[in-house]
Amino acid sequence: MVFIPYLAPMTKKVILKAKRSAAVERFHPWVFSGAVKNIEGEVQDGDIVEVCKADGSYLATGHYQEGSITVRLFSFQQSTPDQGFWDAKIGRALQYRRHLGLAGGQHSTNCFRLAHAEGDGLPGLIIDIYNKTAVVQCHSIGMHREMEKISRALQNNFGGHLEAIYDKSAETLPRQYALGIENRYVFGAGSPGPVLEYGNTFQVDWEAGQKTGFFLDQRENRRLAGQYAPDKKVLNAFCYSGGFSVYALQAGAHSVDSVDVSKKAIELTEANVQLNGLPPERHRAHAMDVMDFLRSADNDYELMIVDPPAFAKSLKKRHQAVQGYKRLNALAMSRIQPGGILFTFSCSQVVSQQLFYDTIVAAALESGRQARVMHQLSQPADHPVSIFHSEGSYLKGLVLYLE
């Protein structure tokens, strides 16, 4: 008989340079490559590692992935990330949404973000709930390797309420790794279906749509825009599936123009207007570039929503992005009549709230308009920001009353 000794799996360790552990001690969830002194053990992308101070003492646990962010930390307590660990993590995320009144037996809203990456202590993990389907997008290899445990944790926490879990990580993971995977149902099966948001119905195509299928982060801002919409001539620029358009029509807007460069988005918008039984004669959808539309548009809009995709995905692109926001907003303002309202947004994480504000000031100067700031908007509470990770704040909006 051959005796096989039991070998405890060796903990892989990332040792930080002296004086480079302060950020982790303040619970910042990223370890940058420049802070790493050495690595103990053979590490591969996606491995779970313990991060230690230069003297070897434990600091945190996370997923290793070569790159400028070398470790994404999901625990600051030494523990084994077994099934119970992920059950508890997802459980806390769900509990928080229950506090928000979003999870469990909601009548008018049954879609929300359950896991917002660093904001929920889950770097690299996004989970959106669309009624009885969870859509998961992993942004790190390590999180994707936990998929089976995350899937089970979702089922354990939701009980029988969840009918399907769709892994849509192929487009969010690093390209090399993503080549080997495909989007698929990891539990149950479903087909894209309708969801409710504040009583409005939206067809969400999580399989073929953008991101996880719907821009949940604009829920509160859509509702606010609806409040200003009665009797107004409205333009919803960058409409995607028509969220703002549906709220505006529902509130009794005089007319709504929805513009998106994507034909698929325009089809979704039209389907959603129809699904809510809204008057089709008050809605026009245009599959075209927003700048082109604005150049030839009327200048008597009374309510305008400008919600472009992120213009800057990295710091290098920030300057260019700011110029883009300025041009877009100056042109948008010129198409709004005196006494009209502009809802304008940026979801570029690298463009801070202050920088966005200054950019809109520059746009107002360029367009020669006086304006009052009515509201300063951000992302909703189901997209939380960890107090130790201000980088998690990405959505900003300004509502202006234009003279």
- Pair 293, 270: CB distance under 8 Å: no
Closest contact distance (angstroms) between CB of 7 and ligand SAH is: 50
Residue 328: HSE in the Cβ half-sphere, 13 Å Cα cutoff: 25
The smaller minimum CB distance to ligand SAH, of residues 11 and 378, is found at: 378
Closest contact distance (angstroms) between CB of 107 and ligand SAH is: 22
The first and second tokens of residue 56, run together, are: 């070897």
Q: Which of 30, 244, 301, 356 binds ligand SAH (CB under 6 A)?
A: 244
Q: Does 309 bind ligand SAH (CB under 6 A)?
A: yes
Q: Does 289 bind ligand SAH (CB under 6 A)?
A: yes
Cα dist from 237 to 74, 158, 220, whole Å: 38, 37, 18
Q: What ranges in 103-183 are assigned the alpha helix state H?
A: 141-145, 147-158, 175-178
Q: Does 270 bind ligand SAH (CB under 6 A)?
A: no
The smaller minimum CB distance to ligand SAH, of residues 392 and 397, is found at: 397
Is 239 part of the annotated catalytic residue set? no
Q: Does 290 bind ligand SAH (CB under 6 A)?
A: yes
Q: Does 241 bind ligand SAH (CB under 6 A)?
A: yes
Residue with tokens 């304008």: 344
Q: Does 240 bind ligand SAH (CB under 6 A)?
A: yes
Residue 71 sits at φ, ψ, to 5 deg, of -135, 135
Instruction: For the segment 72-131, give every residue that binds ligand SAH (CB under 6 A).
Output: none
Q: Does 262 bind ligand SAH (CB under 6 A)?
A: yes
Q: What ranges in 251-317 are assigned the alpha helix state H?
A: 263-275, 290-295
Closest contact distance (angstroms) between CB of 241 and ligand SAH is: 5
Q: Which of 196, 261, 355, 385 binds ligand SAH (CB under 6 A)?
A: 261
Please tell me which residue in 52, 111, 239, 347 is annotated as part of the active site.
Answer: 347
The span from the CA of 101 to the CA of 203, in Å, is 22
Q: Which helix (H) or strand (E) holds 92?
A: helix 83-99
Closest contact distance (angstroms) between CB of 122 and ligand SAH is: 24
Instruction: For the segment 201-230, give every residue that binds ligand SAH (CB under 6 A).
Output: 210, 215, 218
Q: Which of 235, 265, 395, 402 binds ligand SAH (CB under 6 A)?
A: 265
The span from the CA of 125 to the CA of 123, in Å, is 6
Beta-carbon count within 10 A of 277 CB: 10
Closest contact distance (angstroms) between CB of 333 and ligand SAH is: 17
The first and second tokens of residue 27, run together, are: 């619970």
Q: Does 238 bind ligand SAH (CB under 6 A)?
A: yes
Residue type, 256: V
The first and second tokens of residue 45, run together, are: 């992308």
Coil, strand, or helix at residue 191?
coil
Tell me the site size for ligand SAH, rule CB under 6 A.
Answer: 19
Q: Stretches 82-90, 154-162, 305-313, 377-385: which one binds ligand SAH (CB under 6 A)?
A: 305-313
The span from the CA of 14 to the CA of 82, in Å, is 20
Instruction: Give me the sign of the Cα torsion angle 203, 237, 312, 117.
Output: negative
Q: Which of 260, 270, 302, 382 binds ligand SAH (CB under 6 A)?
A: 260
- Pair 130, 136: CB distance under 8 Å: no
The smaller minimum CB distance to ligand SAH, of residues 177 and 214, is found at: 214
The smaller minimum CB distance to ligand SAH, of residues 221 and 367, is found at: 221
Residue 32 sits at φ, ψ, to 5 deg, of -85, 150
Closest contact distance (angstroms) between CB of 14 and ligand SAH is: 37
The first and second tokens of residue 178, run together, are: 């993503």
The smaller minimum CB distance to ligand SAH, of residues 33 and 376, is found at: 376
The span from the CA of 106 to the CA of 131, in Å, is 10
Instruction: For the segment 310-339, give every residue that binds ligand SAH (CB under 6 A).
Output: none
- Which residues are catalytically annotated? 347
Binding-site ranges for ligand SAH (CB under 6 A): 210, 215, 218, 238-241, 243-244, 259-262, 265, 289-290, 307-309
